[in-house]
């Protein structure tokens, strides 16, 4: 997939020309989508998202880039300008396109923009929605996953790591399960390709902390050490495969 790019009135834009004829600022404005009666829902969280009826007839997700952590209280969505080559929303769109080309289970890229104001910028990303899917955290709050599914999830994560993909925020809400029980990863803000290293185990450790936090905070959450062992077994098997 080759993304189209343009710079218009200080806005850096990138888009898939197969889905968007000509990207402009309206695509990233929730009010514009509301005026068309095209908003189908919202999702709260660090990167608040709108689910809309896309221009290509398929559902899209519009997400505004927001900061996390303590800094978000002072600056919730501005990022330091360090050059056009290092814009996070554009980088995320390009990485999604590359991962799709590698047949990794991620949303299809639609469009992204970065709007510069002085020494900072704000960003937005649009992807195709993964229909009839739910976060792993929600699935585990309802019922347990069989050991074979944990193994399969470990294998999916191994595929990303073999491709050198470092997901900066791998957690129980950024893994989706669709109606066919297939796993997908979402939210690749700050993700990147990296050479082999300890970041792989850091990714897995972050996911484990997320699952443990859900288990501690919810009255019913189906996650046990045996599940994690099954995931690690599936990961090791696929990662070692030739």
Active site residues: 169
Q: Are the C-beta atoms of residues 116 and 8 closer than 8 Å to each other?
A: no
Count CB neighbours of 41 within 10 A: 11
Is residue 38 helix, strand or coil?
Answer: coil
Burial of 226 (0-12, 13-18, 19+ CB in 10 A): exposed
Burial of 106 (0-12, 13-18, 19+ CB in 10 A): buried
Helix H, strand E, coil C: the string for 180-234 is CCCEEECCCCCCEECCCCCHHHHHHHHHHHHHHHHHHHCCCCCCCHHHHHHHHHH
Distance of CA 91 to the CA centre of its chain: 12
């Amino acid at each position: 997939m080759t993304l189209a790019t343009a710079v218009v009135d200080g806005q850096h834009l990138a888009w898939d020309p197969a889905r968007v004829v000509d990207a402009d600022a309206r695509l990233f404005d929730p009010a514009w989508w509301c005026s068309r009666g095209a908003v189908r829902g919202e999702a709260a969280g660090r990167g608040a998202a709108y689910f809309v009826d896309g221009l290509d007839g398929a559902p899209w997700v519009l997400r505004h880039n927001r900061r996390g952590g303590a800094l978000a209280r002072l600056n919730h969505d501005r990022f330091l300008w360090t050059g056009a080559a290092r814009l996070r929303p554009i980088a995320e769109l390009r990485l999604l396109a590359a991962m799709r080309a590698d047949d990794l289970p991620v949303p299809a890229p639609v469009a992204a923009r970065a709007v510069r104001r002085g020494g900072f910028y704000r960003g937005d990303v649009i992807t195709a929605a993964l229909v009839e899917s739910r976060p792993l955290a929600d699935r585990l709050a309802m019922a347990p996953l069989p050991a074979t599914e944990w193994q399969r999830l470990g294998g999916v994560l191994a595929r990303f790591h073999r491709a050198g993909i470092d997901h900066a925020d791998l957690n129980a809400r950024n893994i989706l399960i669709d109606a066919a029980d297939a796993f997908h990863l979402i939210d690749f803000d700050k993700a990147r390709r990296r050479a082999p290293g300890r970041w792989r185990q850091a990714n897995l450790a972050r996911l484990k902390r997320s699952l443990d936090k859900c288990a501690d905070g919810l009255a019913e959450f189906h996650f046990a050490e045996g599940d994690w062992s099954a995931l690690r077994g599936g990961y090791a098997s696929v990662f070692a495969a030739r």
